[in-house]
Amino acid sequence: MKKHDYFFNRLKKIIPQHIKPKFGTGLELLKWNQEQGKLNSTKIIKKNYEIKFKKTVMQSGIHELYKDCSFDNYQLENERQKKALSMAKRYLKEFNQNSLASFIFSGKPGTGKNHLATAIGMNLILNGKSFLLITVADIMSNIKETFSFKNSLHEKNLLYNFSNIDLLVIDEIGIQIESRYEKIVINQIIDRRSSSKRPTGMLSNLDYISLNHLLGERVMDRMRIGNSIWVRFDWESYRKHIK
């Protein structure tokens, strides 16, 4: 007797009379079993993918508030916003074609710099790339943590990790009072990234002159490699729309 027929006979004995099974023969039972197996495994694969995606997003520095930001829900109220959106989209497209270009989004608060940077990041994560959005303050406190004895992650390793991420976006450049050490750290990060052929994004409220003054010519030169872009977000804050 075939194995599936044997199981079918045993099942027939234990299933209560009033329950009609989904199969009438041993072969049907086998098929049903295989189908369920496939169904479950696709469910598991999908679930695993969702968990992994969620985890990647959580680790990417994309905060809860921003996780729904996309190109599609970026509202256009003027031509400059339209241009900013199309530049961000083009940046993503070229990034996927192995471009080394960096970007700077600068301008007033609330104009959507984080929104568009997040939209780029979400798309990259979906394409299996690694993305990290981190504020200067968080970079600095991460580095300070590496000074403590208990922490095995040394400053060198941390800088190395920053240079391994496909796209690193440094947020809130120029928010804090200018510090020499910050300038050195940002310099090192950009330097290492560009020597391992990785581009960097920058979000800042500063204009060209102030950013140049804060970071220095050397970094700014690195930020101009290839098709790098500088988008000025010079319209009113969107926050008035948010209740």
Binding residues (CB under 6 A) for ligand ADP: these are 69, 73-75, 81, 109-115, 233, 238-239, 242
Report the nearest approach of ligand ADP to the CB of residue 110 (Å): 5
Shortest separation between residue 242's beta carbon and ligand ADP, angstroms: 6
The pair of three-digit structure tokens given for residue 195, joined into one six-digit string:
């020597």
**In this structure, are residues 117 and 111 in contact, taking their beta carbons and an 8 Å threshold?**
no
Between 91 and 233, CB nearer to Mg ion: 233
Residue-wise DSSP of 169-202 = EEEEETSSPP-HHHHHHHHHHHHHHHHTT--EEE
200 binds Mg ion (CB under 5 A): no
Pick from Mg ion, ligand ADP, none: which does 243 bind, CB < 5 to 8 A by kind?
A: none
* Residue 112 binds which of ligand ADP, Mg ion, none (CB < 5-8 A, kind-dependent): ligand ADP
Q: What share of the chain is helix, strand, coil (3-state, %, to 5)?
A: 55, 10, 35
Task: Tell me the residue nearest to ligand ADP as measured from the CB.
Answer: 112
Is 194 one of the binding residues for Mg ion (CB under 5 A)?
no
Which is nearer to ligand ADP, 102 or 111 (by Cβ)? 111
Q: Does residue 24 contact residue 9 with C-beta atoms inside 8 Å?
A: no
Task: Decide if 234 contacts 106 (C-beta within 8 A).
Answer: no
Residues that bind Mg ion (CB under 5 A): 114
